[in-house]
Amino acid sequence: MDRVSSFDEPLKKLLGGATAKVMAEHLDLHTVGDLLHHYPRRYEERGKLTALADLPLDEHVTVVAQVADARILMFNNGRGKRLEVTLTDGSGRLQLVFFGHGVHKPHKELLPGRQAMFAGKVSVFNRKMQLAHPTYQLLDASDADEATEAVDAFAGRLLPIYPACKQLDSWRIAKAVDAVLPSAQDAVDPLPASLREGRGFTPLPEALLKVHRPQTKADVEDAKARLKWDEAFVLQVALARRRYADTQLPAVARRPVADGLLDAFDAKLPFTLTEGQEKVSKEIFDDLATEHPMHRLLQGEVGSGKTMVALRAMLTVVDAGGQAAMLAPTEVLAQQHHRSITEMMGELAEGGMLGGSDRGTKVVLLTGSMGVAARRQALLDLVTGEAGIVIGTHALIEDKVQFHDLGLVVVDEQHRFGVEQRDALRSKGKQPPHLLVMTATPIPRTVAMTVFGDLETSVLDQLPAGRSPIASHVVPAKDKPHFLARAWERVREEVENGHQAYVVCPRIGDDAEEADGKKGKAKKKAADEDPEKRPPLAVLEIADELRKGALAGLTVEVLHGRMHPDEKDDVMRRFAAGDVDVLVATTVIEVGVNVPNATAMVIMDADRFGVSQLHQLRGRVGRGSAPGLCLLVSEAHEASPARARLSAVAATLDGFELSRIDLEQRREGDVLGQAQSGVRSSLRMLTVIDDEEVIAAAREEAVAIVAADPELEHLPELRTVLAALLDKDREEYLDKG
């Protein structure tokens, strides 16, 4: 059989239609190769043979014994059947029990006098030791040697436990793997021979045999080391080739100009940049000065001054005759960026206008909800080049939007944008524009290498001078209601001291959410019976309660995603101006909202938010000279994982530490997210959080190999495996990265 095609063989041929159908529908396994890469989740040890007299409770044991007697008992008025088998081995007795449909086969096979091996977990019932539904293998008493051999093979083996589904349990998957295991010999090895030998890896066919049918624990370790490396390496080669291809694209170099916009801007800054901002700016300016597109990920702690770094990059591009576009995930954020950038730039943002600087440019906003006239003017300013900087939502990506000369795209909060959107904006340039992607969610190094591996990474981890510390506390509303009362007193105290506060809720609570009244009543009934099932607290309800109760007399306003954009903007402006004391909001305030006078934040039902989300939200306070306070209100039980998560957030302000905790709790699945499904579906053995060294080493090897042979002409096996990994979806995913 051809080496590649045996892996491409449909499972139907080997396993029959019914099994293959279940595997395809429920486990996404279609070919022999898919099944061989469906690795055991863990291994059960059947344990050494144990004498019946020495059975340990609650452990998996394997015993060899003789059937003393077997009888079927009826229960439940004859509707239920139970088979009880008594074993003896000379040292003691043990009872086996089988229920329901599981009684027929053992009833026929386990006859008094038969000898067999049994494996299962020891439990106690009616003060007697028993094994419920053990697996067993009959021994042929006539051939003592064969029986001894069978005992050794059965007891000593590690039993693979596969990720299974209701329709197909682990042992049936194991049986199917036995049927395709001979094809492991045909595995195409992606590792160059020199790399494999240099690192002392097991050959791939052997690794596949060892992972599925290990003789020892050392076999498992051996196989895992090899298979993890393959996954990391093939993915890193794909990403290295993307980066290489990007360096081959043409772009217009945008070099800083003396006495231009940037110099004028820097001269009027009321503070000095942090060392981190200087260092990252230099990395960006070096990239912009080259004739291939920059692809850089800028990750910075909440409030580390990323916007300042991005703005200086945009001004450099405008100085060099190009335009810069900043893409924000929400209208609130786009308006906020527009406002803060025009404020920072002052008269430099009024190019061509009365009172504007002669070195200035126009900074325009473009969102979906703008009026027709304002929108027409903005589009005109972009196509003529009058506007050097545009800030907008995905409205910027629409076909109608034309640029005079797009030189730089800045994407804020990367994880909220599909790769398609990034790509659509990039296609707006005459040549591919430079790309700067920003995120305030600190990403552990390995995830950055795996998910954003096509981007070079810069990190801002210093907070600008003048930033205040934020104290965080968990408020256990259920166990200690007086703590919640004290939380509202603290909010009142902050307001009395001239400051402002946020209250964040997981839900809006308007009619659109409860359109189905019956559903609402059913929820209420469930909530009365079990408070854990109550719907999350809602903005409109909490705002109402606070106005009437704990915060009566203060100006309390609401902000959420379903308000009209003008209304949202009005509330935000009044809050920023200090006319609103307390803003009760959903997570629309999570990113980019900057009101230095807001010092306190109360997060209701905090356990319903993720770790990085809580960290983002908390970053909205402590942005001025007064210390910040963040109160995490929760009804979760003290011993619950949810409370542990909140305590972790309260204990540290280090976003990288928190993102690590977040990853450990959620594992990769939802961190790599839907947009990155290409990566996720190719990782079966590798975990981006535990295998940091593997990923880093694989990246180094991949870079060297691609630099020496970009087309992989001398590595046909690696090319074949890459082609299989990068099927249509994944190829597109990486292309758009």
pLDDT digits (tens, 9 = 90+) for 539-568: 999 999 999 999 999 999 999 888 888 888
Mean pLDDT of the chain: 82
User: Between the ranges 1-15, 104-118, 210-224, 586-600, where is the mean pLDDT highest?
Assistant: 210-224
Contacts 24+ apart (CB under 8 A), 679-684: 679/235, 679/450, 679/451, 679/730, 679/733, 681/730, 682/231, 682/234, 682/235, 682/725, 682/730, 683/231, 683/235, 683/450, 684/37, 684/38, 684/39, 684/227, 684/231
- For residue 281, the model assigns a pLDDT of 95
**CA-CA distance, 297 to 474, in Å (whole number)?**
33
Alpha-carbon distance 622 to 620, whole Å? 7
- Which band of pLDDT confidence, cut at 50, 70 and 90, is reported for residue 58? confident
Which of 97-111, 142-156, 516-530 is the least confident region? 516-530
Among 77-81, 164-168, 711-715, the minimum mean pLDDT is found in 164-168
pLDDT at 103: 84
pLDDT of residue 414: 55
Asked if pLDDT for residue 225 goes beyond 80, the answer is yes
Confidence of residue 4 (pLDDT cuts 50, 70, 90): very low
What percent of the chain lies above the pLDDT cut of 90?
31
612-654 per-position pLDDT tens digit:
788 888 888 888 788 899 999 998 888 788 888 899 889 888 7
Over 80: is that where the pLDDT of 499 sits? yes
**What average pLDDT does range 69-96 have in this prediction?**
86
**pLDDT given at position 404:** 92
Q: What is the mean pLDDT of residues 73-82?
A: 83
Residue 39 has pLDDT above 70, yes or no: yes
Q: Is the pLDDT of residue 121 over 90?
A: no
What is the tens place of the pLDDT at every residue in 454-496? 778 888 877 666 667 889 999 998 888 889 999 999 999 999 9
- At 386-430, the pLDDT tens digits run 999 999 987 787 778 889 999 999 988 655 555 566 667 677 778
Task: Read off the pLDDT of each residue in 157-178 and give the average, rounded to a whole number.
Answer: 78
Asked if residue 363 has pLDDT above 60, the reply is yes
Question: Using one digit for the tens of pLDDT, what is the confidence trace for 699-731?
Answer: 999 999 999 999 999 998 888 888 876 654 444
Cβ-based neighbours of 688, under 8 Å, separated by 6 or more: 444, 446, 447, 450, 451, 663, 668, 671, 672, 695
Does residue 659 contact residue 442 with C-beta atoms inside 8 Å? yes
Residues 282-313 have pLDDT tens digits of 999 999 999 998 989 898 876 678 889 999 99
Q: Are strands 556-559 and 406-412 parallel, antiparallel or unpaired?
A: unpaired
Mean pLDDT value across residues 573-578:
91
Whether residue 13 is predicted with pLDDT greater than 50 in this model: the reply is: yes
The predicted model scores a pTM of: 0.65
Residue 657 pLDDT > 90: no
Q: Would the pLDDT of 169 be above 60?
A: yes
